[in-house]
């Protein structure tokens, strides 16, 4: 006891004076290390669990990022959008008064390159010394990825991004399409830990979630000229198909269904938002025994929501590593005839009676195949490379677009076993380590995605 007290006394001054390195953690729930950063970096709050030393001193990098020819975010726009009063908050059913455009929602629009990810990539490239890798990293700035709204505090940024997308559409003559992920369910990530969210069912989670959706609707309302594609709640319905044996998923079932229903109904009232429900991936719902239960859940939720006409279909492989078309089956897929996303989609589609069987497929981190020890390994899998570029020329009528949903370089979860939200998948031998908290920047992982990109950047 005494000697450990002495040791503590000796250590404390070192902690007080230490400055965290660039990209290191510098705050968050449970954090006891350094809270200031080395010169050239500042400690920025990314979520309540994690503050990180990011290059530069700006705390509002997003608002001043320049994308293409459009400067994102003016004070006027931000203020106006941020204070917009929501008028549809109490409506609960889709109006059905607007008709979706016929055909592929991606056709005829320029997909907007989102400023927040651009700011992350710009900062990351600045810290790569090898000129070839740095140049390749900067190529990522030209590729559209989805923007995740994983906390309600980020929702006011949506109006800023849409204002920029709108301006870009007007100046170029081709309207913009903005890609977003709706991701803030109460008791989120019920079968894992790494992405547990800010709301809990026990503490008013459903009402908080409805408010989150209302705020999203309010942000989009002023921008009917921008087409929005929304991926709805990655992993949520898939967990209800296969993981009801997990107590937290069973307890969340009713709330997840109510929240996803509310999301698609409210977004449907806008007339410019095309929604894709998340449908896991080939190695999850693509197993033959899971296909029919999955189709039943998607279909019944959709119908009981009133068949919202702007629900366009399903998103697959979000944040996963599967190929759309695998050159040959990865040995870890043995036993599942649906060993890639196309086979999964082709097997699921005929079972979707009365549900729109259109798909978008994440290929952002699918450039390198056969890198996992097991198909269920999902956390920062080592050796992954950026994959096929986003396109709406997919070659398959059921597939509206190949997309990059997971922003490559944002982490899947921490490998620190004593940190909050630790999930053992993040310290498996095929997981890149050490890794920071989910959603925060993982520089080493980004660099690997760049160098292993297939096709090359
Ligand atoms: C994290 C989110 C993050 C998303 C995209 C998820 O795993 O939990 O915080 O926004 O990945 O990087």
**How do residues 18-56 score in pLDDT, each as one tens digit?**
888 766 777 876 667 889 988 888 887 765 666 777 777
**pLDDT for res 31:** 67
110 is in an annotated binding site: no
For each of the domains in the chain, give its residue range(s) and CATH number, in order of start.
2-85 (no CATH), 110-451 (3.20.20.40)
Pocket of ligand 1 contains residue 407 by CB under 6 Å = yes
The protein residue with its alpha carbon nearest to ligand 1, atom 9, reads 439
Tokens of 233: 């709640």
Pocket of ligand 1 contains residue 120 by CB under 6 Å = no
Give 225 Cα–ligand 1 centroid separation in angstroms: 28
- DSSP secondary structure of 423-442: -GGGGSTTB-SS--STTSB-
**Cβ count within 10 A of residue 301:** 19
Mean pLDDT lowest for which of 24-33, 64-73, 234-243, 431-440? 64-73
For the chain, the distance separating the N- and C-terminal CA atoms, rounded to the nearest angstrom, is 57
The overall longest dimension of the chain from CA atoms, in Å, is 75
Tokens of 340: 């890639």
Question: Is the pLDDT assigned to residue 16 strictly greater than 70?
Answer: no
How many CA atoms lie less than 13 Å away from 107 in the CB half-sphere? 10
Pocket of ligand 1 contains residue 147 by CB under 6 Å = no
Tokens of 212: 């989150």
Mean pLDDT lowest for which of 193-197, 295-299, 309-313? 193-197
Cα–Cα distance measured from residue 100 to residue 115, given in angstroms and rounded to the nearest whole number = 27
The protein residue with its alpha carbon nearest to ligand 1, atom 11, reads 439
Cα–Cα distance measured from residue 357 to residue 351, given in angstroms and rounded to the nearest whole number = 9
Element (H, E) at 208: helix 205-220
Catalytic machinery residues: 189, 235, 412
Name the pLDDT band for 97 (thresholds 50, 70, 90): low
Residues with Cβ < 8 Å from 96, sequence gap 6 or more? 268, 306, 308, 309
Pocket of ligand 1 contains residue 148 by CB under 6 Å = yes
> Using an 8 Å Cβ cutoff, are 375 and 287 in contact?
no
Mean pLDDT of the chain: 87
CA quadruple 207, 209, 213, 216: dihedral sign: positive
Residue range 366-384: average pLDDT?
98
Cα 252 to its chain centre, rounded Å, is: 21
| Positions of E strands within 235-383 | 273-278, 311-316, 359-362
SS3 content of the chain, % helix, strand, coil (to 5): 35, 15, 50
Cα–Cα distance measured from residue 269 to residue 47, given in angstroms and rounded to the nearest whole number = 30
Cα–Cα distance measured from residue 299 to residue 53, given in angstroms and rounded to the nearest whole number = 45
State phi, psi for 314 to the nearest 5 degrees: -130, 150
């Amino acid at each position: 006891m005494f000697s450990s007290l002495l040791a503590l006394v000796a250590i404390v001054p070192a902690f007080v004076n230490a400055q965290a390195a660039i990209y290191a953690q510098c705050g968050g729930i449970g954090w006891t290390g350094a809270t200031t950063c080395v010169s050239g970096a500042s400690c920025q709050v990314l979520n309540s669990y994690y503050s990180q030393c990011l290059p530069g001193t700006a705390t509002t990098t997003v608002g001043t990022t320049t994308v293409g020819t459009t400067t994102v975010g003016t004070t006027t726009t931000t203020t106006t959008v941020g204070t917009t009063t929501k008028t549809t908050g109490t409506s609960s059913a889709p109006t059905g008064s607007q008709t979706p455009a016929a055909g592929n929602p991606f056709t005829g629009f320029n997909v907007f390159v989102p400023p927040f990810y651009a700011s992350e990539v710009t900062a990351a490239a600045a810290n790569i010394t090898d000129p070839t890798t740095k140049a390749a990293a900067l190529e990522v700035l030209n590729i559209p990825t989805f923007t995740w709204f994983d906390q309600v505090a980020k929702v006011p940024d949506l109006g800023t991004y849409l204002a920029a997308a709108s301006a870009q559409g007007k100046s170029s003559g081709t309207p913009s399409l903005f890609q977003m992920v709706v991701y803030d369910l109460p008791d989120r990530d019920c079968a894992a830990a790494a992405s547990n969210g800010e709301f809990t069912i026990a503490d008013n989670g459903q009402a908080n979630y409805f408010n989150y959706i209302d705020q999203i609707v309010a942000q989009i309302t002023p921008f009917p000229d921008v087409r929005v594609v929304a991926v709805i709640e990655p992993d949520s319905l898939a967990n209800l198909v296969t993981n009801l044996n997990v107590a937290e998923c069973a307890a969340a079932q009713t709330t997840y269904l109510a929240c996803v229903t509310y999301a698609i109904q409210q977004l449907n009232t806008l007339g410019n938002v095309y929604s894709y429900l998340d449908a896991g991936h080939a190695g999850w719902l693509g197993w033959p025994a899971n296909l029919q239960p999955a189709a039943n859940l998607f279909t019944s939720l959709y119908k009981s929501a009133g068949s919202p006409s702007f629900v366009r279909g399903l998103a697959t492989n979000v944040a996963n590593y599967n190929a759309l078309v695998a050159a040959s089956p990865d040995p870890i897929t043995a036993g599942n005839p649906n060993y890639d996303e196309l086979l999964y989609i082709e097997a699921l589609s005929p079972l979707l009676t009365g549900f729109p069987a259109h798909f978008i497929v994440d290929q952002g981190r699918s450039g390198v195949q056969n890198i996992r020890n097991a198909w269920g390994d999902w956390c920062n899998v080592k050796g992954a490379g950026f994959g096929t570029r986003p396109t709406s020329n997919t070659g398959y009528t059921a597939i509206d677009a190949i997309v990059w949903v997971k922003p490559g370089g944002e982490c899947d979860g921490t490998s620190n076993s004593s940190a909050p939200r630790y999930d053992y998948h993040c310290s498996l031998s095929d997981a890149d380590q050490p890794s920071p908290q989910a959603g925060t920047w993982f520089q080493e992982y980004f660099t690997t995605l760049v160098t292993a990109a297939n096709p090359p950047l």
